[in-house]
Amino acid sequence: MEFEPGIEDLIEELDTGDSARVTAAVERLAAHGENALPRVLEAVCADQSSQRLKVYGEVLSRIGPPAFDAVLAAAGAGELDEWLRGRLLRFFDERCAGRYAALALDPDRWLSNVGYAGLLRLRVDSEAGLRALVEKAARGGDFYGEPGKYLHAMWDSYAPRLRELCRDPACSRPVRRGALGLLIEGGGLDALDERDRMLVERLVRVKLPGGVRAVPDTQLSAWWLAVPGATYEGVFEALGLHDPRPVTVQTGVAAAMCEEVRSPSPKDPARGISRAFVTPELDGWRLVFGQFRQLVGYDDWNDMVATVERVSAACGKAQLFFVDDAGGADIWFAAEDGRMVRQYAAEGGWDEDEDEDEDITGGVRDVCGDLSVDPDLVGVLDTVVRGHGWLAVTAPDMGHGQFPGLLPV
């Protein structure tokens, strides 16, 4: 391929190591614009060292949108591999914000993340970037990784406009739904106005019955508490839970599995807060799920013993189950009226049995159904369900509205 006169000489100048000559060559190559792109891309494929990538990235950045398109075209033609494409797409400035937003909507998840990473790096108040987030939310996409980071980075700018989109009668229903979802994703229920909060609460009430099959399974790892359905209210005080609200099983499980959020207090600047889910009554028992460190503690064995005894003192009976296939842990405890009556740990292969009930033996998956309820069989067999689930928080001053992230209903 023949190139415009002077381009070859400038490519050679980039390799001189003389900073002044390199800077001048970058500017002159960029001045050639699109005509320089084929040779620049050819050269960068030949030498992908960090220093060469930085220099050629400066040339591409100066050329701007045409270079962005050329990188994508070369990758589509198989001339650039995925790694090199990703590296080169990091160099462009705010002139390419719309192109990053278009990538963010690409069905290829890798390309989509590249788009959001570009938007995050630029932090440009971009209408196209906002629309990309709205469309992702409308499609039911998740906001882990770059999309979530971008939303939170631009939250102060985007939140007022999202509220406007929710109220704009000219917007399509998917756009309004996506905007509403983003408000909850970025700011929790506190980001909604009173009308939208009432609509969400009404939807929860409609869907409260049913859906018990959504309880977590015990594959790989799990932990949970079981308490009698007749006395379950005691679990809230025993675990330090506050502000219980009715929720569906699907919502409660998803909320309880979310990571803690930072909520500093005067007494504890490093305080973390999370949520706990208490299921509907299932065959006479209620199960409790949540973040282990928040609800049980960090001193695993001693804290498990103390927790199950404290909960049993409040509820009459309590069992705590902990299973971790990867780590080899298979542990359960049963307590009554504040006193441990049985405990089992597979690591040591021992089983203390103070009530001498030899019919109940084995690890967590063997005995949980005999002691109370087997989560893996809830909704599979004929499970007698009464009442609804509750979602509570681990601090009295937190409320539910500050937890970001969409939850299924």
The helix (H) or strand (E) run that includes residue 227 is: strand 221-228
The proportion of the chain whose per-residue pLDDT surpasses 90, expressed as a percent, equals 28
For residue 5, pLDDT over 80 is answered with: no
Q: What is the mean pLDDT of residues 362-384?
A: 85
Return the pLDDT at 311: 97
Measured in residues, the chain has a length of: 409
Return the pLDDT at 237: 95
For residue 40, pLDDT over 50 is answered with: yes
Return the pLDDT at 326: 72
For residue 115, pLDDT over 70 is answered with: yes
Dihedral sign computed on CA atoms, order 366, 369, 372, 374: positive
For residue 322, pLDDT over 50 is answered with: yes
Decide which of 221 and 294 is more confident.
Answer: 294
Amino acid identity at 406: L
Q: What tokens appear for 216 in the block? A: 């977590």
Burial 142-155 (b: 16+ CB within 10 A, else e): ebeebbbebbbebb
Is-contact 285 226, C-beta < 8 A?
yes
For residue 101, pLDDT over 80 is answered with: yes
Is-contact 227 237, C-beta < 8 A?
no
For residue 14, pLDDT over 90 is answered with: no
Name the pLDDT band for 359 (thresholds 50, 70, 90). Answer: low
Q: What is the mean pLDDT of residues 300-305?
A: 91
For residue 296, pLDDT over 90 is answered with: yes
Return the pLDDT at 332: 94
| Cα(313)–Cα(385) distance, integer angstroms | 25
Q: Give the other-Cβ count within 10 Å of 37's Cβ.
A: 22
Q: Which residue has the tokens 């937190």?
A: 398
| Cα(80)–Cα(244) distance, integer angstroms | 54
Return the pLDDT at 204: 58
Return the pLDDT at 266: 78
Query: How confident is the prediction for the chain on average, in pLDDT?
Result: 83
For residue 87, pLDDT over 80 is answered with: yes
Q: What is the mean pLDDT of residues 61-73?
A: 92
| Cα(54)–Cα(206) distance, integer angstroms | 57
Q: What is the pLDDT of residues 118-145, one digit of tens each?
A: 999 998 777 888 888 898 888 877 787 8
Q: What is the mean pLDDT of residues 99-117?
A: 87
Return the pLDDT at 17: 76
The model carries a pTM of: 0.59
The proportion of the chain whose per-residue pLDDT surpasses 70, expressed as a percent, equals 87
Return the pLDDT at 209: 57
Which residues on adjacent β-strands are paired with residue 392?
276
Q: What tokens appear for 36 in the block? A: 């320089």
Is-contact 221 326, C-beta < 8 A?
yes
Return the pLDDT at 25: 85
Is-contact 392 232, C-beta < 8 A?
no
Q: What is the pLDDT of residues 147-177, one digit of tens each?
A: 888 888 888 888 889 888 888 888 888 888 8
DSSP type of residue 395 = S
Q: What is the mean pLDDT of residues 363-376?
A: 89
